[in-house]
């Protein structure tokens, strides 16, 4: 694939078999595709999917995947609000997760309010500062 990209092909789509060789072994067919990076000339972005693609549809799927990139880091930020628990009880773990999502949403709201409605690249209030503020507040 890299050779075809270096031969001035704009978009490359290949079928690939992903395999796990250690026990328990498994394999799954996937589609690997590369499209030109929008911000860097001569560079490509690689994707792996279980969808069947043609080179013509690969760019459209890349545009859809790019919109998800904002979601993935956001989901990781929820982990900053998630308490650790040894509890195997589903309801306890679900409560902690939903509470962490609520705290994450409050953090996003606080950042939007601080920046007067604009959404900056880097939040002005870090998750660490927000957590400390929540812990120090007097809830009476």
Reported as a single tens digit per residue, the pLDDT across 118-134 is 766 788 888 899 988 88
pLDDT of residue 10: 73
Q: Span 4-13, mean pLDDT?
A: 66
Number of C-alpha atoms within 13 angstroms, CB side, residue 7?
5
81 with 131: CB under 8 angstroms?
A: yes
- What confidence category does residue 8 fall into, taking pLDDT thresholds of 50, 70 and 90? low
| Residues contacting 13, CB < 8 A, separation 6+ | 31, 32, 33, 53, 54, 55, 58
Q: What are 76-122's pLDDT values in tens digits?
A: 888 888 888 899 999 999 999 999 999 999 998 898 888 887 766 78
1 with 14: CB under 8 angstroms?
A: yes
Q: What are 54-74's pLDDT values in tens digits?
A: 888 888 888 887 777 666 677
Single pTM value for the model: 0.53
Q: Which of 44, 48, 18 is nearest to 32 (CA)?
A: 48
């Amino acid at each position: 694939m890299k050779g075809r990209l270096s031969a001035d092909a704009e978009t490359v789509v290949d079928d690939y078999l992903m395999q796990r060789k250690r026990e328990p072994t498994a394999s799954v067919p996937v589609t690997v595709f590369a499209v030109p990076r929008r911000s860097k000339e001569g560079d490509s972005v690689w994707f792996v999917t279980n969808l069947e693609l043609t080179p013509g549809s690969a760019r459209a799927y890349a545009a859809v995947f790019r919109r998800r990139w904002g979601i993935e880091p956001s989901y990781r930020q929820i982990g900053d609000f998630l308490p650790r628990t040894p509890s195997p009880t589903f309801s306890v773990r679900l409560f902690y997760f939903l509470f962490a999502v609520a705290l994450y949403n409050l953090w996003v709201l606080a950042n939007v309010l601080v920046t007067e409605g604009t959404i900056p690249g880097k939040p002005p209030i870090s998750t660490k500062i927000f957590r400390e503020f929540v812990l120090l507040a007097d809830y009476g």
